[in-house]
Structure 1
Amino acid sequence: MHEKDAKLKASKMFLKAGVALKPFFTQLKIPLLQVKSTRTLEEHIAEALHSGAMMGAMVAIWLLAVGFSAQNTQVIYVGLLGAPAVFAFSFYSSLYLPKVKGMKRAKEIERELPYALRHLLIEVKSGIPLYNGLVAISEKYGAASEEIRDMVEEINAGKSEIEAIEESIFKNPSYNFRRAFWQILNSLKTGTDIESSLESTVDDIIKQQLISIKKYGQELNPMTLMYMMVAIILPSLGITFLIVLSMFAGGGISSNLFIYIIVGLILFQAFFVNVIREKRPNVKV
């Protein structure tokens, strides 16, 4: 708690700079709302500046200390020139972190969203009022239920269904969530049937998921071929070729070469697994 307060106090030192830079980063207002941040935009910019300044200073001090102790001018120059680059990287990384968190949150919501909306559709078709339907899906559907639970709490606090849905749409990072509840909102405002608009939205989301699964399957085939080439065929044939070549040349193969090959394969496999995970469609199985 004290560490958090100290960090906030240090960030306030950059608050004037945050106010001055605010007009250049107005596009970050919505991402901050979508991740439910309690900080204002200028406070967020000030915290990013503080983070960048700390990282830049730490790198500069460390490299300058190493450079002066070793009397190496190249390390000193790297410290002087690298500090601004580290500051810029850390500043922008911290500044746009809410966008990254919002994208992650959107994926979590959309994983459960079709099932929650399908449940809501069944409730509405059964003649149950929309509010009761929202209460029914405010549990059991992960991040989607959390968003709907917030909506239900706003209604319980005295807001109308239209106001609560409008606020939820504005603050939600998921495009499909916003689209689905925008259709519901339009139906409430115009007095049209909620069932038909909700059913078409659910069908569209499910179709998108099926398309993403097919696309993933098509992308997986060439990636699997590339994995077999790089991780299986090339190392085995390459090592065999080197052994035969060393026999004819009368030399030997350094044991370090095998270590480099193993480390390279481990890094490649870690990279490949990460790529597969990122490309995996956001569908609950």
Structure 2
Amino acid sequence: MGFVEKISMRLFHDLALFLEPIFPELRDDLRMARMRISAREYIARSIFIAFLVFLAEVPLLSFIFGLSLQTFLFSFVFSFTISIFLAGCFFFLSLNYPKLIAKERAKKIEKDLPFATLFLSTIAGSKLPLYRILRIFSEFGEYGEINKEILEIVKGVEAFGLDINTSLQRAIERAPSKPFKDLLWGMLSINKTGGEMDVFLREKAKNFMEEYRRKLYEYSRQLMFIIEIYLTSIVLGAIFFTILTAIMGGMAGGGGLIIIQFLLIVVFIPLITFGLIFVIRSMNPGGE
């Protein structure tokens, strides 16, 4: 437990204990986000930080509104109300932060899952026990978050003395990605029933590859659509608007149109371009 968590638990333990049943999904979100902190400690820390934000906002907003409104009492009450609202927003955003981390981890896992499953099926072709298959896989660091999850399974066996089935069961509970959960469930079932692990992994790799190709195809179609909209609406529209305003400015002699043209070319188009780049990167099934 860190310094902030100790102070938070000392000040807000009872309130965190009261709020913990209201957010039952937080414990799973923290586990899937690999944040090694209990739900109660995380709630207490979020309350503490939100309280600090509230204490910082009240005098700052009171000073700002006091200068503009020239009435201290109204400025203080207004700042107090806004500070409570902003601190509450910060608290709820903080509680949703582990969910965002878990979703980002799930996206990274699903990006590498087809190739990692193919590699697992290759190792399983040697008919090694499941623990040995996962042990060999964990020694390669090419698959990011999947390697971390597999390494946790191996550590559960080597460091804590768990059997491979129990360690797999725990990995399923903390896995943030549904396809990865399904893969681990299948491996657990095959290991319990004594089926052909290499055949199962080969079929799963084939299914994941087909899904990956489908996502790439959809991504290429969406990318073509976005590029067409960008070229026709943004670029050609900006060119047409610039020419039209230049003609109107020459006829009417308006100097303000030059400022509008400058803002359009220097500010608006780059902002739209960076926004589209961000959207395209987030849509890419291959990650970067």
* TM-score, normalised by the number of residues in structure 2: 0.89
CA distance, structure 1, for counterparts of residue 274 and residue 287 of structure 2:
23
Root-mean-square deviation over aligned CA pairs: 2.2
How far the C-alpha of 1:211 sits from its partner, in A, is: 1.1
Alpha-carbon contact 2:4-2:45 (below 8 Å) kept: no
Please give the per-residue CA displacement for 1:134-190, whole angstroms capped at 9, x wherever unaligned.
Answer: 112112322211211111111113211101111111111122221111101011222
**Local SS of the residue matching 1:96:** helix
Counterpart among 165, 184, 202 of residue 199 in structure 1:
202
> Helix, strand or coil for the counterpart of 1:57?
helix
Shift of 1:76: 5.4
Matched letter for residue 3 of structure 2? D
Which residue number corresponds to residue 15 of structure 2? 17
Contact 1:231 1:269 in 2 (8 A): no
Give the SS at the match of 1:13. Answer: helix
Most deviating of 157-166 and 67-76: 67-76
Distance (whole Å) between structure 1 residues aligned to residue 77 and residue 270 of structure 2: 34
Q: 1:153 to 1:10 in 2, by over 3 A?
A: closer
Give the structure 1 partner of residue 151 of structure 2.
Answer: 149
What amino acid does structure 2 have at the position aligned with 1:110?
E
Summarize deviations over 1:239-285 as a string: whole Å, max 9, x none.
Answer: 1111111222233345432342121222211211111111111468x
Counterpart in the other structure of 1:106: 106
Corresponding position of 1:121: 121
For the structure 1 residues 202 and 238, does the alpha-carbon distance in structure 2 shift closer, same or farther, using more than 3 Å as the test? Answer: same
The 5 A counterparts of 1:97-246 are 97-138=97-138, 139-140=140-141, 141-157=143-159, 158-246=161-249
Would you say the 8 A contact 1:111–1:283 is kept in 2?
yes
- Residue of structure 2 equivalent to 1:267: 271
Q: Give SS of 1:225's match.
A: helix
Following the alignment from structure 2 to structure 1, what is the Cα–Cα distance between the partners of residues 53 and 262? 34
Asked if structure 2 preserves the Cα contact closer than 8 Å seen for 1:147 and 1:168, the reply is yes
Q: Does 1:30 align with 2:28?
A: yes
Counterpart Cα distance in 2 of 1:278 and 1:76: 42
Contact kept in structure 1, 2:130 and 2:191, CA below 8 Å: no
Q: 1:235 to 1:8 in 2, by over 3 A?
A: farther
Deviation at 1:70, TM superposition (A): 3.8
Change (3 A) 1:183 1:85: same
TM-score with structure 1 setting the length? 0.90
**Could you tell which deviates more after superposition, 179-188 or 124-133?**
124-133
Tell me how many residue pairs correspond in the alignment.
Answer: 282
Counterpart contact for 2:281–2:287, Cα < 8 Å: no
1:79 and 1:8 map into 2 onto residues whose CA distance is: 30
Q: Hey, what's the Cα distance between the residues in 2 that align with 1:189 and 1:47?
A: 42
For 1:209 and 1:283, locate their aligned partners in 2 and report how far apart those are by CA, in whole Å: 12
> Cα distance, 1:6 vs. partner?
4.3
- One-letter amino acid matched to 1:235: A
The amino acid across from 2:50 in the alignment is G
| Counterpart contact for 1:107–1:282, Cα < 8 Å | no
